[in-house]
Structure 1
């Protein structure tokens, strides 16, 4: 038999109820193995001895960022156990040991990843890989070595082998080594500060090439999307720290309330609070950076973000005048109108407490559109026609509000892209426009008129 994942609910736009179905290879009707759970069940993996089925499950219907539990089903009696009931982190990728005694589970943890070995007998666990950013882990047939893709802020993905006994990692591929040897790139540095609700909040900072601590540098503040996501120590193929730093900017980012990798309670805290806790974290993080790093020029600040990060750019634009310029990519500007045009109805219904006619106060409380009379900062608005998650009309609304008030604004439109800029040719245009906008306001004469 084959295990597959499908959502067969009548209104799939309003539900996250993925289920695991068993399809007999010799024919017959599919069997729903997870019918009892109205939330998301996914990623089924059979054990090598075929006695067990491991999979991930969430417990709250309609919430895409709920914690992913590691579930174990006894294939003989279909009894299910939660192996991570006492965890606060979500399980990402899962794989079996060759002897079917252990499951290896990868998690996101404080801007990096960790790999845990979990006993299926009693759920005891041991962290066997930490402090790196790894993807697609696979075990060798003898169960002694993990092979994975590894990256960090200075290196795109390469293939690594990790000896599980010693923890030593060995690089197997060198696809990018020759090109990287010609570049001057700094590693990210970590910082922590006290943010909203007196919580410890984590951030990353990257210095530009040929950094001189005696100089003053403009700062580019990057804001992640999700909103339940995180900025990590990776070599992102779009929001790449090194590309933003290359013209001579310090780059910083904060994993504000709602970010993943810091426990589920921290992740949950953003729902219904789009404009207060995260914004407070970002402003307190900026205060900390200006105080702790004297090479940051507080008169030349820029911020950029996509999706929820784009929303936060609009929100920042209505709440403060600290920035010389802003960049919003595919951001939510008007949550009420966004609700009527997104393909994911479950998303705004969870984040704002229901549809607009049931929770209008929350939609309007956190709507940048309602405060757009406060806009005062030049802004680049980026949006794409094929974005069905955050419709292009959100960008039109924001651009109209900016220009109607006579503010410097530019609209970058991609007719053939969706929520992300995928095509290499378009990505070149995207980078040229982004860096051009930053240069105009961070390296120009400081004028805010266009």
Structure 2
């Protein structure tokens, strides 16, 4: 805003990346923006003089912090990428040259063998380029058939290229899976129109894109066993897991953590239900749009589910209350469908207690081993034979 004239210039109105932080640097008179752009977090600077944005050529895929010096053309930043942990750099703002100043996890990572990560995109039947990437197992053999695990967003944030994750894709791959993640409609970081498709959709189009992407990925990669595909998601991604298996039988095993099964009950309970629904279900309520609340709720289509489903939920979840998993579990048990339900005592929307998190992760690994590899020993050792 021009303080003299009070004129406001909406400089980011047509800027597609999602802005998460901004800072004006009086030394060079640029505005610096940290943005979510696709599955990356990048830095841009904007010149009020030329009215142009410029992307900074930084060394990491996901920039976690960016700090500008007070009296010089220098900055420091930290970031991660798909196959390395947090690193710290010094950046010369005049030459754009980065100097690595700290790589604290280099020694630990040198002892690990990580599989290769590759980008893979497809054009959907809706006409969009849907971006994604896949993780190969260490010591990958292209002549072998591997089971596939598919992972997708929760909340609508993209599945990040960060190394560490609650859902560690490298760890899945290390257990001899190919892992595919994609950024379907509704994902932020791809422009307003693309992300706005999330509103009043609750799986519509997004699920079709995921199914289409999985089918095309399998067709394009002969080393994937199309009969052994698992899917996993959390929160809105947990909803998507449940919704997908009411629409298709391509998955041989599914995992939903803290997923929404009934949009109506989610709307009316928990600390986040109403506020999240104000965007996801904008101007739609159970009384003026019952079709949305019923037709898009997986619970109302539980009889269509054939895929073995593992439900996980923290008992103290204030975002998606545990009743969402209880309802789906009850329905599937009444229908004699293959389902298991693990309640993590005292944990909220994510599992942070160390020991409980280890057990929670092991349950997911064991579930996929049972249904995608035909090996139930890990699951049986944890929960007993049935």
Taking structure 1 as the reference length, what is the TM-score of the superposition? 0.79
Q: Identify the range of structure 1 (125-134 vs 265-274) with the bigger mean alpha-carbon deviation.
A: 125-134
Q: Is the 8 A contact 1:153 1:187 kept in 2?
A: no
Aligned with 2:56 (options 128, 131, 135): 128
Matches within 5 A, 1:26-425: 72=1, 74=3, 80-99=8-27, 101-121=29-49, 123-129=51-57, 132-226=61-155, 228-344=156-272, 345-352=274-281, 353-425=283-355
Q: Equivalents in 1 of 2:257, 2:141: separation in Å?
A: 31
Superposed displacement of residue 90, structure 1: 2.0
Change (3 A) 1:360 1:436: same
> What is aligned with 2:380?
none
1:167-206 deviations in whole A, cap 9, x for unaligned? 4433222221111001111342111111252111101101
1:254-286 deviations in whole A, cap 9, x for unaligned? 100001111111000121122221111101111
Q: Is the 8 A contact 2:61 2:82 kept in 1?
A: no
Superposed displacement of residue 100, structure 1: 6.7
Residue aligned with 1:159, SS:
strand
Q: Equivalents in 2 of 1:247, 1:330: separation in Å?
A: 24
Residue aligned with 1:129, SS:
coil
Q: Identify the range of structure 1 (200-209 vs 269-278) with the bigger mean alpha-carbon deviation.
A: 269-278
Residue aligned with 1:197, SS:
coil
Q: Equivalents in 1 of 2:41, 2:126: separation in Å?
A: 26
Q: Equivalents in 1 of 2:347, 2:5: separation in Å?
A: 47
1:437 aligns to 2:351 (yes or no): no
RMSD after superposition: 2.1
Q: Identify the range of structure 1 (308-317 vs 155-164) with the bigger mean alpha-carbon deviation.
A: 155-164
Q: Is the 8 A contact 2:116 2:137 kept in 1?
A: no
1:324-347 deviations in whole A, cap 9, x for unaligned? 110000011000111111323132
Q: Is the 8 A contact 1:102 1:118 kept in 2?
A: yes
Q: Equivalents in 1 of 2:286, 2:278: separation in Å?
A: 8
Residue aligned with 2:122, SS:
strand
Superposed displacement of residue 77, structure 1: 7.8
Q: Is the 8 A contact 2:116 2:138 kept in 1?
A: no
1:344-394 deviations in whole A, cap 9, x for unaligned? 313213322332122211111211111111111111101112211211100
Q: Equivalents in 2 of 1:93, 1:364: separation in Å?
A: 38
Q: Equivalents in 2 of 1:302, 1:382: separation in Å?
A: 16
Superposed displacement of residue 143, structure 1: 4.2
Unaligned runs of 5+ in 1: 1-71
Superposed displacement of residue 118, structure 1: 1.1
Change (3 A) 1:363 1:147: same
Superposed displacement of residue 142, structure 1: 4.6
1:115-162 deviations in whole A, cap 9, x for unaligned? 111124563322123672111111234543331121112112121223
1:376-432 deviations in whole A, cap 9, x for unaligned? 111110111221121110010111122222222221112221111122222111111
> What is aligned with 2:382?
none
After TM superposition, the runs of 4+ consecutive aligned structure 1 residues lying more than 6 A away are: none
What is the count of residue pairs matched by the alignment?
A: 375
Q: Is the 8 A contact 1:349 1:355 kept in 2?
A: no
Q: Is the 8 A contact 1:128 1:164 kept in 2?
A: no
Q: Equivalents in 1 of 2:216, 2:95: separation in Å?
A: 38
Q: Equivalents in 2 of 1:349, 1:98: separation in Å?
A: 38
Q: Equivalents in 1 of 2:152, 2:336: separation in Å?
A: 26
Change (3 A) 1:426 1:169: farther
Q: Equivalents in 2 of 1:169, 1:404: separation in Å?
A: 60
Residue aligned with 2:86, SS:
strand
Q: Identify the range of structure 1 (184-193 vs 98-107) with the bigger mean alpha-carbon deviation.
A: 98-107
Q: Equivalents in 1 of 2:105, 2:317: separation in Å?
A: 32
Q: Identify the range of structure 1 (352-361 vs 262-271) with the bigger mean alpha-carbon deviation.
A: 352-361
Residue aligned with 2:126, SS:
helix
Q: Equivalents in 2 of 1:339, 1:383: separation in Å?
A: 18
Q: Is the 8 A contact 2:16 2:189 kept in 1?
A: no
Q: Is the 8 A contact 1:107 1:114 kept in 2?
A: yes
